[in-house]
Amino acid sequence: MVQAVNDGLRTIMKEDESVLVMGEDVGPKGGVFLATENLTKEFGKERCFDTPLSEDGIIGVGVGLAMNGMKPVCEIQFQDFIYPAFDQIVSEAAKMRYRSGGQYTVPMTIRTPYGGGIRGGLYHSQSGEAYFAHTAGLKVVIPSTPYDAKGLLISSIMDPDPVMFFEPKALYRAGREEVPEGMYTVDLSKVREVTQGGDAVVFCYGAMVPVCTEAARRIKESRNKDIRVIDLRTLMPLDEEAVLQAARDCGRVVMVHEAPRFCGYGSEISALIAENAIEYMEAPIKRVTGFDTPFPNTLENYYLPDARRVFDAIEEVLDF
Amino acid sequence: MSDTLQIIDESGKKVGKAPRLKRETLLRMYRAIVSTRSFDDRCMKLQRTGRIGFSIPNKGVEATSVGAAAALDAAQDWIAPHYRDFAMMFYLGIDVNGMFDNMFGNADDNAVGRQMPVHFSFRDPVNWLSISSPLGTQIPQAVGVAMAMKQRGEKGIALTTFGDGSTSTLGFHSGLNFAGVFGSPVVFLCQNNQWAISCPSEEQTASESYAIKGEAYGIPGIKVDGNDVLAVYRVVSEAVKRARAGEGPTLIEAVTFRMGGHSTSDDPSRYVEQSEFDAWEKRDPLFRFETWLKSEGHLDDEKIAAIRAETDAEMMAAAKAAEAKPRPKLGTIFSDVWEQMPPHLDAQMNACISHFAERDEAVDEKGEFPL
Amino acid sequence: MSALEFKLPDIGEGVHEGEIVRWIVAEGAAVQEDEPVVEVMTDKATVEIPAPASGTISKHLYGEGDVANVGDVIFVLDQGGGGAAAPAAPAAEAAPAAAEAAPSPAPAAVAAPPAPAAGGGTLEFKLPDIGEGVHEGEIVRWIVAEGGSVQEDDPVVEVMTDKATVEIPAPASGTVAKTLVAEGEVANVGDVIFVLATSGGGAAPAAAAPAAPVAAPASNGAAPAVAAPAAAVAVQPADPNRKVLAAPATRRLARELDVDLSTVAGSGPKGRVKPEDVRAASAAPAAPAAAPASAPAPSAAPAAAPAAPAAEAPAAALPNFPQIMGSREVEEVPFRGIRRKTAEAMTRSKFTATHFSLIEEVDCTDMVEARNTAKKVGERYGVKVTYMGYIMKATAIALQEFPQLNAELDEERGVIKVKKYVNLGIAVDTPNGLVVPAVKDANLKSILQLSADLMDIANRARTGKLKPDDFADSTFSISNAGNIGGVLATPIINFPEVAIMGVHVMRKMPRCVGDDIVARQVMNLSISIDHRLVDGADGARFMVRVRELLEDPSLMLL
């Protein structure tokens, strides 16, 4: 996936001169995950450059660039480090269009690796998507495949509003697939049906998609039930109609994310279904999530939802 | 750093070399200061009678605003302002009607009634970035704006203004640091008016001045008498010239004084000694500039009275016009969040509008239907 | 000279009160706009408040040292001459008013319907808003008297509001411990009108306990048959106090299949009803205990069929006018409910619409013949085909051709709203007064259907069973009061409609047909139109068209 991100950046930088890549170590080094590898070489240090170690500065300067005709792609090295820039993201980028009545806008993309699975402990593993999905004015996008990573990234960069682009670092070097050369986009706000089925639906995104797909496969194998796995892809704005349709079709719902449960994104999905499709529910809506604790290090595999936990939750809703 | 540039002293006498400025420009500067006093006065009365919610007094700091404004080229330069720079707006010819539309938050307000008063946002006649309440956020943004111009090979520069309190923010640090590193065409203008609400300068920083902080970022720091409009003009002009020439950013500390409260909700007599007010009253930038203009033969008492009457009348008329305008439509709560309204928001908007229409509360206090 | 009441504004951000430190301008003194009037000290600062306009300070409402709340009037300013200062006046008041309006919560009066108590206890029943925006209701009749027991959903009291007379059902089973408003009295929405001692915790075992055993025998002859079916369908008697466990989707299925979940024994964990249980129950021949509540404990008996006597009542219970017995007594009848509503509506109509009336004579001979035939057909469907059915049909057809009579004037917005649908308001004389429910979409309905709808609506009107929706959105009204007597009338428009048609008595009269004088069935139709919107000529053309259709009903088939 990390190569797809790199390819996406290269493709859009060729297409659009106003696209700039900036962040810590994104230049000659090519980023700590090599997502920006060779971009400085290819486009020069005016288009892809290292910045001082200051998240607030990266985003604050990015907001200024975006307001004045550029399309900055700011990298925050780990999502865990984004909080110094929270003010610039939430109070500035997200609200600029609104507070200026559309006079000033911020077409900026913030790329950041998120989530566990690399033995990163509590400061290299966080999943903070809910903070941003809660903020009006931001879009929140999380790919789970190389194809989507490139297509969604290009769509995000071309989007007229600020986009939080969360990259599941656990999948950077996992799932491999051929990615088409050149420009293509994947629509924001459209879910992806990963597997077909009508016995229960599992909603997930990012690194949880392969976990849920595996759980669905095991259910099929052991009980011959068809589980629909839906990759939400864009958390804000959400493709609500698709979520409700899947919920109505299946009547049994499991929501999976690695972020903590309390006020997590799964709460929103659960509430959405409860408000709009309760009479189709054959069983309670189950959430499989990280625990309501900081992210552990040594015991991270016990914290992260895995296929077995998802499998159990699907069984629970099937057997209700 | 202890040297503070001064051209007109407190008594209005010329003590330094005056920059060469046309009479017309000088009078435009003067009028901007007088307009600010009229605007302040009008806003205070509107606020005290409950017709607007809030305002920010500008009395005392106008020379800093005007001196800096006169050094800019509105056609290409950008301003990332803080909220105490009304005189800069008047000098640059920003429409006073638009300013009052914002004070009332009416349907014509550029911020569509979404922000508190004094949070102006303009595109014309100059790029006046939307003002934010969190402090210092505009500082790195100005650097980004400037970097974009540099990248495209344009000659414009960005001026960002902030108070002494904002030098403690994250934005000040990251903004100056980035500008220093990237050599961005930015002018950082710190309006040191001595008080961050009720926090005095000596409790804000242990540095010997604010200007000296530039040194830490490899940026020249210059201190100027902020109540001396000509001195500010000269210092900012030089900084702008450097920036335009690709020589990088400058930090300017303009030493001035807030001759009123922080806002209309603030009572400065609770924390500022009367003796301090009295001392600064003698250094009033308007008096100083007026005295000098008179001595140069540009102004006389009759003309002064005429300008004051004109600006008072102008503010009164603009305030009444803005007050008479309708409120923004109810749907504007929901617009401009994203370029395209997502379906969930559209549903909320429709529910909101029909809810208030059903409650018969959709008619506002002026008898208008804001739907 | 206008007086401006100056309210203390919020002079900080979120200040709630201020102390009057000093009156700078004394009572009776003149002041110019912007001159300071008073010095006020708040939590945040001491400020001078300038005059919002020029004039004379006629009154101080607070003394020095007093504390005023934000929004209180602190002084009154008499504005001299008006003129330039005037615009300031509404604004000064507007701001605080707006501040008050903003966060206002939902009206407290609209109390949520009380939840049925699970165990025993008492429940205070508040009069709900039973129309949209009804504020009071008159207690017509206590169906269940104090001490009487009642099952959940059984009617307890009959209440008449401006809009309709409705029966209010018990929110839970139990005993009516107390009635707080006497018959004939008016209660406000939100007032407690009765107290219910709910059963379940043993508070009123008399009512609840016998219900279950009685249920089975009560289900007449079907009972033995039901007991037989083999197997799977586990059926149990309904128990209103039992909480049925079922997933929402199962509940939906039960609604769709018309299965009472409380009669289905669940096969799931903790007795949870599963979809297959519902399907099995639905497939079973009959729900044996479907109506257990209709055979309640003896004490509840009077409540069982409360509607019946009410329905028969009108014939017997004549309007309760004072009997004149030669005394000098004057009885005072409260002016409220439908009477007052009618008075208001009539006044508004008469003083707003410029009434213009016109009478047309219709030869109904052919229609009478046609209807005699149709009547037999109607009987097959249980519908009494009436002349009114023909008249409504003709009216609906003519309205489509003269839409200006099917309209409404919205003066505020300066538009005439021409309706693209025809809802015929039918004036019905009821024991409680005149009501005008509407037969909806009359233009889309047959004479048969219109006759059926009319019958239904008239019955419900006379028994006080109309729902608020029945009154909504009538576009043109027909008054049939003329059939009591009278050959002509000038009906009053059901404002804001623009026209009303009166239907008068039909009788045999000598008329010329060719050169012969023959007996014909003749009826007058009158119409009043709002001359502001419809010209007399159009009104006349409309009536000619209605006449044409009624004189040859076959034209209505076109």
Last residue of a domain, one of A171, A204, A222: A171
Q: Which of B42, B49, B106 to mutate to test the interface with C (most CBs of C within 10 A)?
A: B49
Q: Closest Cα of chain A to C14: distance in Å?
A: 22
Structure tokens at C205: 């075992």
Q: Do A254 and A291 belong to one domain?
A: yes
Hey, is the C-beta of B320 within 8 angstroms of any chain C C-beta? yes
Please report, for the domain that includes residue A273, its CATH number: 3.40.50.920
Q: Count of residues for chain A?
A: 320
C neighbours by CB contacts (3+ pairs under 8 Å): A, B
Could you tell me the sign of the dihedral formed by the alpha carbons of C192, C194, C198, C202, in that order? positive
Q: Do A284 and A239 belong to one domain?
A: yes
Structure tokens at C94: 């507007």
Residues of chain B numbered 335-354 and touching chain A (CB < 8 Å): 336-339, 342-345
Cα Dmax for chain C: 100
Note whether B148 contacts A91, CB cutoff 8 Å: no
Sort out which chain C residues have CB atoms less than 8 A from A280's CB and list them. Answer: 248-249, 252
Sort out which chain C residues have CB atoms less than 8 A from B133's CB and list them. Answer: none
Please report, for the domain that includes residue A59, its CATH number: 3.40.50.970
H or E stretch covering C99: helix C88-101
Name the residue range of residue A69's domain: 2-171
Residue in A97, A111, A124, A150 annotated catalytic: A124
> Residue B225, CB half-sphere, CA atoms under 13 Å: how many?
21
Note whether A283 contacts C247, CB cutoff 8 Å: yes
Residue-wise pLDDT tens digits, A145-180: 999 999 999 999 999 999 999 999 999 988 788 999
Note whether B78 contacts A68, CB cutoff 8 Å: yes
Q: Would you state the pLDDT for residue C233?
A: 44
Sort out which chain A residues have CB atoms less than 8 A from C257's CB and list them. Answer: none
Note whether B49 contacts C12, CB cutoff 8 Å: no
**Contacts with B323 (C-beta within 8 Å, 6 or more apart), sequence order:** B46, B51, B100, B104, B106, C87, C91
Q: Do C145 and C65 belong to one domain?
A: no
Sort out which chain B residues have CB atoms less than 8 A from A101's CB and list them. Answer: 109-112, 114, 121, 336
A neighbours by CB contacts (3+ pairs under 8 Å): B, C
- How many other C-beta atoms lie within 10 A of the C-beta of residue C69? 11
Pairing of strands A71-75, A109-114: parallel
Domain B23-324 architecture: 3-Layer(aba) Sandwich (3.40)
* Model confidence, pTM: 0.66
Bigger pLDDT: C103 vs B120: B120
Count residue pairs from A and C with Cβ separation < 8 A.
18
Q: Would you state the pLDDT for residue C213?
A: 35
Burial (CB < 10 A; 0-12, 13-18, 19+), residue A3, is: middle
Hey, is the C-beta of B371 within 8 angstroms of any chain A C-beta? no
Burial (CB < 10 A; 0-12, 13-18, 19+), residue B303, is: middle
Residue-wise pLDDT tens digits, C43-57: 777 888 999 889 999
Give the pLDDT band of residue B106 (cuts 50, 70, 90).
very high
Q: Do C86 and C127 belong to one domain?
A: no
Hey, is the C-beta of A56 within 8 angstroms of any chain B C-beta? yes
Q: Do C370 and C499 belong to one domain?
A: yes
Note whether A237 contacts B336, CB cutoff 8 Å: no
Q: Do A21 and A125 belong to one domain?
A: yes
Q: Do A7 and A79 belong to one domain?
A: yes
Q: Do C82 and C181 belong to one domain?
A: no
Note whether C92 contacts B50, CB cutoff 8 Å: yes
Residues of A engaging C, defined by a Cβ cutoff of 8 Å: 251, 278-283, 320
Q: Amino acid identity, residue B116? A: M
- Closest CB to B111: pick one of A61, A62, A100: A100
- Alpha-carbon gap, residue C43 to B24, rounded angstroms: 46
Residue A138 lies in a domain: yes
Hey, is the C-beta of C110 within 8 angstroms of any chain B C-beta? no
Task: Look at residues C476, C489, C548 and name the one whose alpha carbon lies nearest to residue C357.
Answer: C489
Q: Which of C245, C252, C273 to mutate to test the interface with A (most CBs of A within 10 A)?
A: C252
Q: Would you state the pLDDT for residue C287?
A: 39
Category of C358 on φ-ψ map: left (φ > 0), alpha (ψ -120 to 50) or beta: beta
CA A100 to centroid of chain Cα atoms = 28
Last residue of a domain, one of C42, C66, C101: C101
Q: Do C515 and C475 belong to one domain?
A: yes
Name the residue range of residue C39's domain: 2-101
Q: Would you state the pLDDT for residue C219?
A: 38
Q: Would you state the pLDDT for residue A166?
A: 98
Hey, is the C-beta of A238 within 8 angstroms of any chain B C-beta? yes
Q: Do A125 and A217 belong to one domain?
A: no
Number of domains, chain A: 2
- Alpha-carbon gap, residue C343 to C433, rounded angstroms: 11
Q: Closest Cα of chain B to A93: distance in Å?
A: 10
Q: Do A130 and A6 belong to one domain?
A: yes
- Closest CB to A68: pick one of B137, B148, B178: B148
Q: Do A142 and A207 belong to one domain?
A: no
Q: Which CB contacts under 8 angstroms, 24+ apart, belong to C437-441?
A: C437/C461, C437/C466, C437/C470, C437/C471, C437/C474, C438/C470, C438/C471, C438/C472, C438/C473, C438/C474, C438/C475, C439/C392, C440/C473
Sort out which chain A residues have CB atoms less than 8 A from B140's CB and list them. Answer: 56-57, 59-61, 63-64, 88
Q: Do C125 and C97 belong to one domain?
A: no
User: Is the separation of the CB atoms in C186 and C136 below 8 Å?
Assistant: yes
Low-confidence ranges of chain C (pLDDT < 70): 1, 80-120, 130-134, 162-163, 200-242, 284-327, 336-338, 481-483
Q: Do C444 and C533 belong to one domain?
A: yes
Give the pLDDT band of residue A298 (cuts 50, 70, 90).
very high
Residue-wise pLDDT tens digits, B233-291: 999 999 999 999 999 999 999 999 999 999 988 889 889 999 999 999 999 999 999 99
Give the mean model confidence (pLDDT) for residues A8-36. 97
**Smallest CA–CA distance from C50 into chain B, residue:** B45
Hey, is the C-beta of B266 within 8 angstroms of any chain C C-beta? yes
Give the pLDDT band of residue B21 (cuts 50, 70, 90).
very high
Q: Do A251 and A216 belong to one domain?
A: yes
Catalytic residue IDs of C = 531
CA angle C435/C438/C442 to nearest 5° reads 150
Please report, for the domain that includes residue C455, its CATH number: 3.30.559.10
Give the pLDDT band of residue A101 (cuts 50, 70, 90).
very high
Sort out which chain A residues have CB atoms less than 8 A from B160's CB and list them. Answer: none
Residue A179 lies in a domain: no
Q: Do A14 and A93 belong to one domain?
A: yes
Q: Do C547 and C420 belong to one domain?
A: yes
Q: Closest Cα of chain A to B119: distance in Å?
A: 9
Count residue pairs from A and B with Cβ separation < 8 A.
141
Pairing of strands C516-530, C355-363: antiparallel
Q: Do C67 and C166 belong to one domain?
A: no
Bigger pLDDT: C203 vs A40: A40
- Alpha-carbon gap, residue C551 to C536, rounded angstroms: 22
Note whether A282 contacts C252, CB cutoff 8 Å: no
Pairing of strands C186-188, C136-142: antiparallel
The 10 Å CB-count burial string (b at 16+, else e) for C231-270 is eebebebbbbbeebebbbbbbbbbeeeebebbbbebebee
Give the pLDDT band of residue B365 (cuts 50, 70, 90).
low
Hey, is the C-beta of B14 within 8 angstroms of any chain C C-beta? no
Last residue of a domain, one of C52, C72, C101: C101
Note whether A281 contacts C275, CB cutoff 8 Å: no
Q: Would you state the pLDDT for residue C325?
A: 58
Structure tokens at A269: 């999905």
Number of domains, chain C: 3
Q: Do A137 and A248 belong to one domain?
A: no
Q: Do C500 and C442 belong to one domain?
A: yes
Note whether B141 contacts A160, CB cutoff 8 Å: no
B neighbours by CB contacts (3+ pairs under 8 Å): A, C
Sort out which chain B residues have CB atoms less than 8 A from C50's CB and list them. Answer: 45, 48-49
Sort out which chain A residues have CB atoms less than 8 A from C248's CB and list them. Answer: 278-281
Q: Do C364 and C502 belong to one domain?
A: yes
Q: Closest Cα of chain A to C253: distance in Å?
A: 9
Q: Do A118 and A156 belong to one domain?
A: yes
User: Is the separation of the CB atoms in A28 and A1 below 8 Å?
Assistant: no
High-pLDDT (> 90) share of chain B, %: 86
Note whether C248 contacts A283, CB cutoff 8 Å: no
Q: Do C487 and C382 belong to one domain?
A: yes
Note whether A320 contacts C251, CB cutoff 8 Å: no
Task: Look at residues C502, C265, C211, C506 and name the one whose alpha carbon lies nearest to residue C386.
Answer: C506
Q: What is the DSSP string of chain A?
A: -HHHHHHHHHHHHHH-TTEEEEETT-STT--TTSTTTTHHHHH-TTTEEE--S-HHHHHHHHHHHHHTT-EEEEEPSSGGG-GGGHIIIIIIITTHHHHTTTSS----EEEEEE-SSSS-GGGS----HHHHHTSTT-EEE---SHHHHHHHHHHHHHSSS-EEEEEEGGGTTS------SS-----TT--EEEE--SSEEEEE-TTHHHHHHHHHHHHHHHH---EEEEE--EEES--HHHHHHHHHHHS-EEEEEEEESTT-HHHHHHHHHHHHHGGG-SS--EEEEE-SSPPPSTTHHHHS--HHHHHHHHHHHHH-
Bigger pLDDT: B175 vs C375: B175
Give the mean model confidence (pLDDT) for residues B192-196. 95
Sort out which chain A residues have CB atoms less than 8 A from B216's CB and list them. Answer: none
Last residue of a domain, one of A126, A142, A171: A171
Residue C379 lies in a domain: yes
Please report, for the domain that includes residue C140, its CATH number: 2.40.50.100
Q: Closest Cα of chain C to B86: distance in Å?
A: 21
Note whether C250 contacts A282, CB cutoff 8 Å: yes
Q: Do A26 and A166 belong to one domain?
A: yes
Hey, is the C-beta of B310 within 8 angstroms of any chain C C-beta? no
User: Is the separation of the CB atoms in A43 and A49 below 8 Å?
Assistant: no
**Smallest CA–CA distance from C105 into chain B, residue:** B359
Q: Closest Cα of chain B to A218: distance in Å?
A: 35
Note whether C90 contacts B365, CB cutoff 8 Å: yes
Q: Which residues of chain B form CATH 3.40.50.970?
A: 23-324
Q: Closest Cα of chain B to A182: distance in Å?
A: 26
- Alpha-carbon gap, residue A235 to A247, rounded angstroms: 17
- Alpha-carbon gap, residue C98 to C92, rounded angstroms: 11
